[in-house]
Amino acid sequence: MIELKNIHKSYASRDKVVEALAGVSLDIAQGEIFGIIGRSGAGKSTLIRMLNLLERPTSGSVLLHGQDITKISEAALRTLRHKIGMVFQHFNLLTSRTVLQNVAFPLRLAGMDKQARTERALALLELVGLQDHAYKYPRQLSGGQQQRVGIARALANEPELLLCDEATSALDPETTQSILNLVLDINRRFGITVVLITHSMDVIRSVCDRVAIIDNGRIAESGEVVEVFLHPQHATTLSLLSESGVDADGWKELIEGVPGRIVRLTYRGHSTARPLLSQASRDLDVNLSILQGQSAKSRIRPMGSWCWLWMPILRAMSHWRHFFGIIRSITRY
């Protein structure tokens, strides 16, 4: 659906040129939830704003359904943006208008008559669970409720693409999860492609199909969320995972000077719930110590992310081959 080809974006200041994006290439499939994660200043907000050309690239192409939208007219771009909804970090609601009027505002700009836009806005408020708050003002709502209004407004013109720019970073954890569940429901119900940026790996794990890690204006790595969590390749990815509780080095001081062998086991899918380690221990007649590990759920399926094990030195290489044979047989889908 979306393809970014060698995107560069530079900003000129008085004494230097700052390169916010440096040759970014990505593809986003129709109907998926795609996450973009990075630290402050990494370029993620600039990148997501390329998708509706709120920011224009210095060079490179932005393709939507195969069409390079950097080359279309301003009139065609305004029409295109009706099919791209955007949800903002700080809600950006019109404080002098009611919740209903906020949701109906894009429809008014699109020229829809008052009765039709009111009916559409009320239906969207029901979708996001705010039908009883239609005639309140934003100041009368909680942060989570205001973001639900923002989501309803973004859906007003029946978009095929929903952009979420740090949509949960101003919310508490419980409210964040409720908003993420709503985004998941919208994606499943309507097949809308969702692109979200965040600084939280937990957000990525909860809702995304695929993820790109951006660092200093470049894509450090990308792929399916499960693969990136299980087999991180870049230092930035490891650091972000560590901040969410996945510390790949935390076990080292536990086994310093202790003889034995360390095994890193990763597993996913329904094998997460199977008694893998107890079976291996029984078959090998050896005790296993779990030094560190984490199990989690990735979007809609279980994901046993990783586990560090300590094992005494086995008596023969055949035991190692048998151990890894057990692992392979149990961890298949």
pLDDT tens, position by position, 278-301: 776 777 676 666 666 665 655 655
Q: Is residue 243 part of a domain?
A: no
Does residue 147 belong to any structural domain of this protein?
no
When divided into structural domains, the chain yields a total of 1
**pLDDT tens-digit series, residues 156-187:** 999 999 999 999 988 999 999 999 999 999 99
Q: What percent of the chain has pLDDT over 90?
A: 58
Residue of 236, 162, 164, 240 lying closest to 202 (CA atoms): 240
The angle at the Cα of 26, spanning 30 to 301, to the nearest 5 degrees, equals 55
The Cα–Cα gap between 130 and 146 comes to 10
Tell me if 324 is assigned to some domain.
yes
List beta partners, residue 161: 84, 193
Report pLDDT digits (tens) over 224-262: 988 888 788 899 988 888 777 655 555 555 556 656 666
User: Of 75-79, 132-136, 256-260, where does mean pLDDT reach its minimum?
Assistant: 256-260
What residues does 274 pair with on adjacent strands?
none
pLDDT of amino acid 242: 79
Q: What is the pLDDT of residue 268?
A: 62
Mean predicted confidence (pLDDT) in 269-274: 63
What is the per-residue pLDDT for 256? Answer: 62
Mean local confidence (pLDDT), 122-148 = 96
The full 3-state SS of 236-250, as one line of letters, equals: HHHHHHHHCCCCCCC
Q: Please tell me the distance from the alpha carbon of residue 87 to that of residue 73, in angstroms, as a whole number.
A: 25
Predicted pLDDT of residue 142: 95
pLDDT at 279: 72
Average model confidence (pLDDT) for the chain? 84
Domain of residue 305, CATH code: 3.30.70.260
Structural tokens at position 215: 């660092």
Residue 187 lies in a domain: no
Going by the DSSP 8-state scheme, the letter that residue 271 receives in this structure is G
Furthest-apart CA pair in the chain: how many Å? 80
pLDDT of residue 327: 53
d(CA 261, CA 44): 41
Q: Report the half-sphere exposure of 172 (CA within 13 A, side-chain side).
A: 5
pLDDT over threshold 70, residue 316: no
Does residue 208 fall inside a structural domain? no
pLDDT band of 219, cuts 50, 70, 90? very high
> Are the beta carbons of 210 and 32 closer than 8 angstroms?
yes
Look at residue 57 and tell me if it is in a domain: no
Q: What is the pLDDT of residue 261?
A: 62
* pLDDT value of position 164: 95
> What is the structure's pLDDT at 229?
81
| Angle subtended at Cα 102 by Cα 105 and Cα 195, rounded to the nearest 5 degrees | 85
Domain that holds residue 322: 252-331
Distance CA(287)–CA(131), nearest Å, equals 58
Categorize the per-residue pLDDT at 330 as very low, low, confident or very high, splitting at 50, 70 and 90: very low
Q: Left (φ > 0), alpha (ψ -120 to 50) or beta: where does 84 sit? A: beta
Q: How confident is the model at residue 62 (pLDDT cuts 50, 70, 90)?
A: very high
Residue 331: pLDDT band with limits 50, 70, 90? very low
Residue 90 is given by DSSP the state T
How much is the pLDDT for 98? Answer: 97
User: 141: which residues sit within 8 A by CB, 6+ positions away?
Assistant: 99, 133, 149
Within a domain: 5: no
In the sheet with 59-64, reading across from the earlier edge strand, the strands are: 17-28, 2-12, 59-64, 67-68
- Does residue 333 have a pLDDT over 50? no
Q: Tell whether 313 is covered by a domain.
A: yes
pLDDT band (50, 70, 90) for residue 266? low
Classify the C-alpha dihedral 305-311-313-319 as positive or negative.
negative
| Edge-to-edge strands, sheet with 193-198 | 84-87, 161-165, 193-198, 33-37, 210-215, 218-224
Amino acid at site 326: I
Between CA 214 and CA 45 the distance in angstroms is 10
pLDDT confidence band for 14 (50 / 70 / 90) = confident
Sheet-wide strand order for 289-298: 261-265, 301-311, 289-298
